[in-house]
Structure 1
Amino acid sequence: MFRTWPPLMPQGVSVEPVLLPGRDARFREPPFDRMEPLAEAVAEALGPRLDRPYALFGYSMGAQVAFHVAHALRNSGLPQARALFVGASPGPFLQREVPAWDQSDEHLVAYLRDMGGTPQHVLDDPDLLALMLPTLRADLTTVATCPYTPRPALGMPVHAFAGQDDPSASPERMRAWQRETDAAFRLTVLPGGHFFLNDHLPAVAGAVHDRLRELTAV
């Protein structure tokens, strides 16, 4: 998702996507299906790279991962992010209905069709689905089995992005992220559903850049 971001960022701002197990070059590694070990593994991998100002951005499930990574980094005494950017995933304390995670592959495919964002040729190819569904199921399990644990608010600004017509993360449910920070909170609402980022990448990347510029100027 974030591989197309570098050209949208100004000189001096690097984009470093986190590649989780079960994907691309790490396809043969078993994916995580629990949040705590996932967040701790990401935090450990990021630790040596946090020698300059940085921010975290997570979209959909990645928003929940980024949130838990921010807490894991704080608990480890590592440098904190300048900001947390989240999109298409409701505030962590809200009850989340995660459909199909413990149901049949047929239910998972139906879920993908309903959500949109998955190319039709993938949905129509049993071989591709057989490769993709185990990681998708693990992702959904990670979110579905992650209880909300009250903890001290993050000390960094949080900027949330919502799709106006996202059935799973409405603007109001995205506003609930405000509860997780004792710093500034912003909500940007864009046209579209759960995958609004596909149609508004320049706008989102621009908003991230502008916010980082504001924060580093303080």
Structure 2
Amino acid sequence: MKSSQVAQEPWIRRFLSSPGATSAPARAQRTLLVCLPHAGGSASFFFPVSRALSPALDVVAVQYPGRQDRRHETPVDDIPELARQVADALGPVDGRPVALFGHSLGASLGFEIARLLQARGTDVCHLFASGRRAPSRSRDERVHLRDDEGLLAEVRELSGTDPRILGDPEVVRMALPALRADYRAAETYRYVPGPPLTCPITVFTGDNDPKVSADEAGAWSAHTSAEFDLRTYPGGHFFLTDHQADMTRIIRERLAPVAPQSSSSA
């Protein structure tokens, strides 16, 4: 693998490319946007984001172990450990800027990955945190300790999964181990104090999200020494499915100033 490429299978999925932007040198001219799914989610959740932002950005999504084509692998139920594995899987990025976009569990994970990458000298240019309280804010949540039906009831209440999927016993049986591990990771995560990120943070939140209060969303401001922006949308925990166009517009605008300029060629 050439140093200017980002690692691919099994962790990193790149859904779209365009003519003239498929080679490693071409990708090296664009900011890398790494998308991180919610609990129970998969990389394919971010296909619409990839479609909206490619080829201006090099959009990839992370596939956690234990789901879909990785369903035979053991899920990771600890956010710091998962962050380390994702950071390692990204591999060398050849000096170009990296942005992170995570929803719910993925937002906490994105924060920890950003900390690791910055400590390793990678240029993390932005963190987009969606549907998640600030790392320094915790709740006593124990959904991961419920029985299977209790866990599924929580998923149904948040309305982030197609009801047809939840109605298929075989699919549910295969999904439950990863879903429980994800909830355990999210609910047992505890912030370890350290220096704030040096990149801007943009937070997206729903005004009726039972998992995030306005105060908890605003508390992300303490985790960066750079700019902070809070965007509130109508909706619950999965507000982003109804507001994708505006959110991707904001991501594009925030990342445009840091996108490397293409070098001239004869």
Query: Which of 80, 103, 107 pairs up with 2:150?
Result: 107
Which residue matches 1:46? 90
Taking a change above 3 Å as real, the CA distance of residues 24 and 124 of structure 1, as seen in their structure-2 partners, is closer
Q: Given that residues 95 and 123 in structure 2 are in contact (C-alpha distance below 8 angstroms), is that contact kept between their aligned partners in structure 1?
A: no
Query: 1:162-199 CA distances to partner (integer Å, 9 max, x unpaired)?
Result: 01111111333211111100110001111111001111
Shift of 1:215: 4.4
Shift of 1:96: 2.5
Aligned length: 216
- The 3-state SS of whatever aligns with 2:232 is strand
Shift of 1:40: 0.6
Q: Which has the higher helix share?
A: 1
Q: Given that residues 98 and 140 in structure 1 are in contact (C-alpha distance below 8 angstroms), is that contact kept between their aligned partners in structure 2?
A: no
Q: Percent identity?
A: 36
Q: Identify unmatched segments of 5+ residues in structure 2.
A: 1-44, 261-266
- The 3-state SS of whatever aligns with 1:55 is strand
The question of 1:171 aligning with 2:171 is answered no
- The 3-state SS of whatever aligns with 2:236 is coil
- The 3-state SS of whatever aligns with 2:226 is coil
Which residue matches 2:107? 63
Which residue matches 2:198? 155
One-letter code aligned to 2:165 = V
Which residue matches 1:24? 68
Q: Structure 2 CA distance, aligned partners of 1:144 and 1:167?
A: 14
One-letter code aligned to 1:131 = M
Q: Given that residues 98 and 122 in structure 2 are in contact (C-alpha distance below 8 angstroms), is that contact kept between their aligned partners in structure 1?
A: no
CA-atom RMSD, angstroms? 1.6
Q: Given that residues 9 and 205 in structure 1 are in contact (C-alpha distance below 8 angstroms), is that contact kept between their aligned partners in structure 2?
A: yes
Taking a change above 3 Å as real, the CA distance of residues 50 and 64 of structure 1, as seen in their structure-2 partners, is farther
Shift of 1:125: 2.2
- The 3-state SS of whatever aligns with 1:78 is coil
Q: Structure 2 CA distance, aligned partners of 1:192 and 1:74?
A: 33
Which residue matches 2:116? 72
Shift of 1:54: 2.0
- The 3-state SS of whatever aligns with 1:52 is coil
Q: Structure 2 CA distance, aligned partners of 1:190 and 1:79?
A: 31
The question of 1:9 aligning with 2:35 is answered no
Q: Structure 1 CA distance, aligned partners of 2:216 and 2:76?
A: 26
What is the TM-score when the length of structure 2 is the normalising length? Answer: 0.77
Query: Which of 136, 144, 148 pairs up with 1:93?
Result: 136
What is the TM-score when the length of structure 1 is the normalising length? Answer: 0.93
- The 3-state SS of whatever aligns with 2:231 is strand
**Which range moved further: 59-68 or 78-87?**
78-87
- The runs of at least 4 consecutive aligned structure 1 residues that moved more than 3 Å come to 214-217
Q: Structure 1 CA distance, aligned partners of 2:214 and 2:94?
A: 32
